[in-house]
Amino acid sequence: MVGGRSVDLCPTVAVKVFSAGTAGCVADLVTFPLDTAKVRLQVQGESRPSLDGSRMKYRGVFGTMFTMVRTEGPRSLYSGLVAGLHRQMSFASVRIGLYDSMKQLYTRGSENAGIGTRLLAGSTTGAMAVAFAQPTDVVKVRFQAQVRLPESDSLKRYSSTMDAYKTIAREEGIRGLWKDNMPCHFTAAFAAGFCTTVVASPVDVVKTRFMNSVPGQYSGAANCAFTMLIKEGPTSFYKGFVPSFLRLVSWNIVMFVSYEQIKRAVMTFQQPRNSY
């Protein structure tokens, strides 16, 4: 206590990293069904079996979720959740938790950071986060795209999250876990979410298709995009637009609200210990 008042503590890097990762997990728990519906819509039409009746047809975000629940059970909406939580603990914790530290590094401790410095700090932590989280994102997408029919296990590619990590590394090499990726309060979340989805959706669809592909299906991300354009047309790059937008907006709202609350709770827990 100083002068009868508790000392305001500045959150440490560890507190920010922990709070950001935990908040990212909370946001994923809330929005994961939307993300799964987005992936299913994005990969739909990629493979065309000889019998049209043998493939599932998804229509719209809620239609996709309803079809998945009806044919695969409610748990299918959370397929890949473990890898998703792995991703948030390694992605959000770095991208958001280290942002302030990176910004101060570039300004040499000054609190006056211009837009250029902020962009540089954001780009740096974003690149670091992608490097750390890329394997988890690949596994998450593979599980979300995997159709699980109750009467048959023949379509399962992986039996568990750890099996997916090991199988991909064994069959596709360590590089298979680092396939191309481009990671991309309320009013700001809607505006930023819409603009981001419009710009990033084509890249996100190609990323999903490429991550979900078997070895040799595409020679690279560019070949994947070209194949989509030729076989399915330009509109294929905006498959899953609505769930992608809804997920991005809701994820950012939940994440940043949770981040502030978790950070405040950790600081409140630490404050009595530092007041003596």
253, pLDDT greater than 70: yes
Computed over every residue of the chain, the mean pLDDT equals: 78
Spatial distance between the Cα atoms of 236 and 152, rounded to a whole number of angstroms: 29
Q: What is the pLDDT of residues 123-163, one digit of tens each?
A: 788 778 877 888 888 889 888 888 765 555 555 677 788 88
Backbone angles phi, psi at 243, to 5 degrees: -65, -30
25, pLDDT greater than 90: yes
User: Of the given ranges (2-6, 43-47, 235-239), which has the lowest mean pLDDT?
Assistant: 2-6
| 3-state SS string for the chain | CECCECCCCCCCHHHHHHHHHHHHHHHHHHHHHHHHHHHHHHHCCCCCCCCHHHCCCCCCHHHHHHHHHHHHCHHHHHCCHHHHHHHHHHHHHHHCCCHHHHHHHHHCCCCCCCHHHHHHHHHHHHHHHHHHHHHHHHHHHHHHHCCCCCCCCCCCCCCCHHHHHHHHHHHHCHHHHHCCCCCCCHHHHHHHHHHHHHHHHHHHHHHHHHHHCCCCCCCCHHHHHHHHHHHHCHHHHHCCHHHHHHHHHHHHHHHHHHHHHHHHHHHHHHHHHHCC
Mean pLDDT for the stretch of residues 180-191: 51
12, pLDDT greater than 90: no
Mean pLDDT for the stretch of residues 156-182: 76
Mean pLDDT for the stretch of residues 178-197: 55
Length of the chain: 276
At residue 4 the predicted structure's pLDDT band, cuts being 50, 70 and 90, is very low
- pLDDT reported for residue 184: 41
For 192-219, b/e burial (b = at least 16 CB within 10 A) is: ebeebbeebbbbbbbbbbbbbbeeeebe
At residue 227 the predicted structure's pLDDT band, cuts being 50, 70 and 90, is very high
Q: State both tokens at 147.
A: 């159709």
177, pLDDT greater than 80: no
At residue 22 the predicted structure's pLDDT band, cuts being 50, 70 and 90, is very high
At residue 47 the predicted structure's pLDDT band, cuts being 50, 70 and 90, is low
49, pLDDT greater than 80: no
The single-letter code of the amino acid at 200 is A
7, pLDDT greater than 50: no
257, pLDDT greater than 60: yes
228, pLDDT greater than 70: yes
Q: State both tokens at 4.
A: 């009868």
Q: 219 or 253: which carries more pLDDT confidence?
A: 219
Distances (CA, A) of 195 to 150, 188, 249: 39, 11, 11
- pLDDT reported for residue 192: 53
Mean pLDDT for the stretch of residues 215-226: 90
- pLDDT reported for residue 124: 81
- pLDDT reported for residue 186: 52
